[in-house]
Amino acid sequence: MIDRRQQQESLYRFPYHYLPQLSDNGGFSRFMALSWGFGYLCCLLNAAEEILAESPESIIDVGCGDGRLLSLLAGRTDASLTGIDNSDRAIALARAFNPGQKFIAGSIDGVNEKFACVTCLDVLEHVADAEIAGFIDRLCRLVRPGGRLIVGVPSVNRPFSSKHYRHYTGQALLDQLAAATRGLTVDKVRHVFNGSDRLFRLYSRLTCNRWWFIGCGSVETLVWRYVWKRLRQAGPATGHQILATLRRPA
């Protein structure tokens, strides 16, 4: 027997009623497509694997936005999960999509707790040059003895975004983090998601551009499998994301 109420409830994983939109000039759209979605999910899952590798007891995601990373961690760990972001709107979405998790709207200045794992993904590029050193100082203070800090930033191989202050090379990221001066050591630096792959770039341009979006579920799944199997790891010349893992000595 069909449970119609449960069927309806399952649709609310996403606010689908908001997909049909009219623009200010009267243009209509019934789709929303994230052109960099393959790369984004690939980078997030790479980070999630890194986070869960040592089964941390507590995790805070700094600059959590709408809580997407914590949504991927929930159910895969017994760690306490906390997200913090200075955007009230982002935190409202995070709470809506992740009921039961702890989200804080505000600055990390007010966080006094220490965590086994501190994550900061796609955040540093949004911090102005004059503020970046102080922000990293405060970020590092959240890491407890024996804990890790995992930082993810866009590499210089990724097209530059006007909302970013900078993109990074591996060395530029390490220079900015200055781990030794902040009582941490560098564990590893990885380049992930080979967004320079010619076949992937051709598919992306043909199916999602300024004029149209073409999506076929089975084809998209095949492309995702190709991305995860062939493109998830990369090198300095091809990686679109850099993941750095730092550790505070016990």
Do 179 and 185 form a contact (C-beta atoms < 8 A)? yes
* Residue for token pair 């027997």: 1
Residue 4 reports pLDDT greater than 80: no
Span 114-127, pLDDT tens digits: 999 999 999 999 99
Model confidence band, residue 96 (pLDDT cutoffs 50, 70, 90): very high
How deeply is 53 buried, as exposed, middle or buried, from its count of CB atoms within 10 A (0-12, 13-18, 19+)?
exposed
DSSP state of 135: H
Span 161-181, pLDDT tens digits: 999 999 999 999 999 999 999
Higher pLDDT among residues 59 and 110, named by residue: 59
DSSP state of 228: I
Ranges of beta strands (E only) in 63-133 are 80-85, 102-105, 115-121
What's the number of CA atoms in the CB half-sphere (13 Å) around residue 197?
22
Do 201 and 155 form a contact (C-beta atoms < 8 A)? no
Domains of the chain: 44-194+239-247 (3.40.50.150)
Span 26-83, pLDDT tens digits: 899 888 888 899 999 999 999 999 999 999 999 999 999 999 999 999 989 999 999 9
Its sign, for the CA torsion 158, 159, 164, 168, is: positive
Q: What is the pLDDT of residue 2?
A: 64
Spell out the residues 6+ positions from residue 69 whose beta carbon is closer than 8 angstroms to its own.
44, 47, 48, 61, 83, 119, 121
